[in-house]
Amino acid sequence: MTRQRVAGVALLAPFAAAWAVAAWLLWRSSLPAYHLPRLSETALFPPRVLAEAQHFSSVERLLWLGGTLTQLAVLGVYSRFGIRWMRESAAGPVGTGMLLGMIGFALVWVAELPFAVLDAWCQRHNGLSASYAEATVGNWLALGSAFVALCVALGIAMNLARVRWIGDHWWLPAAPLFVGIRTLLAFVAPWLLGGRAFNAPYVAKLEAIEHVHVPVRVISGLGEPNAFATGLGASRRVFLWQPIVEPPFTPRLDSFVLAHELGHLAHNHIWKSIGWYALIIVPLAFLLSRVARRRGGMGAPEAIPLVILTYVVLWLAAQPLQAVVSRHMEAEADWSALRATRDPAAGRALFERFAAVVKEDPSPPTWDYVFLEDHPTLLQRIEMTQYWKG
């Protein structure tokens, strides 16, 4: 046992060093060393706007917390008693494991449905267009895509674990396969989103400045003003949600939005996101293999309910790291937008408009900032425009 532990430490040390070097390389950016001025949200936003944003955001936090705790509770019960369903299956070990995964995610959807409906009501009550159909069917479609990914991941892991010479070391070949699947999805997804062409006069100018020439599309049917960049190589796209190109948002503000999204592509943030995913999924898969051993290993259907619960818990625990990484890339994209537009006033006006229209809390509490916010707070983004202007 002592020799095994020594060997384990000997293997862990170079792995940890390689992980740290890879994280350092991914963290590097074009952001300068800066110290943001400290502004007060009460001096930037009218009291009514600030009160509405804080109230709406607090309700959203409670709904997220309730949904998360419910999800963990349902999966906890399922990990204890879900194994009973495997006795009804004659699909073989792998088929039974995938069936157990499907049941687990269906139970999660049913448990989270009330929170999704409440969230839709809250958004409609606050003037944000969110239909109940989108809350239910959209949530089901999102869960369905997650289930497809789960089935593929379970099929890979279980089949590898059942190979005699691989066994509990299935995570070693599985992790690169998971990264490959993530890369393939990032490449294919933009072609599935559709949308109409966006041909504003400033598009070509910003693309020339950012050295990124990609199609810009507008997606209708979505109720929140937003935008995102995605894709790899030939599939790279920028997508604008319809409300962001309508009043009260102006072409000047949209120009800043587009420059921000082009900045994501200019700085290879999609590739970096895949790199961070690889750094997270490798240790996560290793921990899942250790947990699965308690119920016969990953190749045994009995382990699947417990593995699903553990995966959700570990992924939730990794949220702070993912949030820090995402905010770092968002800050770099904001800096890129400031350099491309040379219009800090537009950036500041955009972030102030978000507080009024989307009702986003400009300065959320710490736990919200760690677990929910995937970009700098509105207050910090305004502070960045003030720093750039100075």
Q: What is residue 291's predicted lDDT score, i.e. its pLDDT?
A: 93
- In the beta sheet, which residues pair with residue 194? none
- In the beta sheet, which residues pair with residue 73? none
Which tops the pLDDT comparison, 375 or 279?
279
Mean pLDDT within 371-379: 81
pLDDT higher than threshold 70 for residue 135? no
388/357 Cα distance (integer angstroms): 25
Q: Is the pTM of this model over 0.85?
A: yes
Return the closest-CA partner of residue 31 out of 232, 267, 238, 229: 267
Where are the alpha helices (H) located in the chain, listed in sequence order?
2-27, 41-44, 47-81, 92-125, 132-133, 139-161, 171-188, 202-210, 251-266, 269-292, 304-317, 319-341, 344-357, 366-371, 378-389
**Which tens digit of pLDDT belongs to each residue from 138-156?**
555 555 566 677 778 888 8
333/269 Cα distance (integer angstroms): 9
Instruction: Return the DSSP state at 298.
Output: T
Q: Residue 131: which pLDDT band, with cuts at 50, 70 and 90?
A: low
Q: What is residue 229's predicted lDDT score, i.e. its pLDDT?
A: 95
Lookup result for tokens 């202007």: 389
Could you tell me the residue ranges of all domains in the chain? 44-189+269-389
Task: Determine the 3-state secondary structure of 141 from DSSP.
Answer: helix
Q: Residue 4: which pLDDT band, with cuts at 50, 70 and 90?
A: low
Q: Residue 197: which pLDDT band, with cuts at 50, 70 and 90?
A: very high
Instruction: Return the DSSP state at 198.
Output: -
**Which tens digit of pLDDT belongs to each residue from 65-87?**
998 999 899 999 998 887 776 66
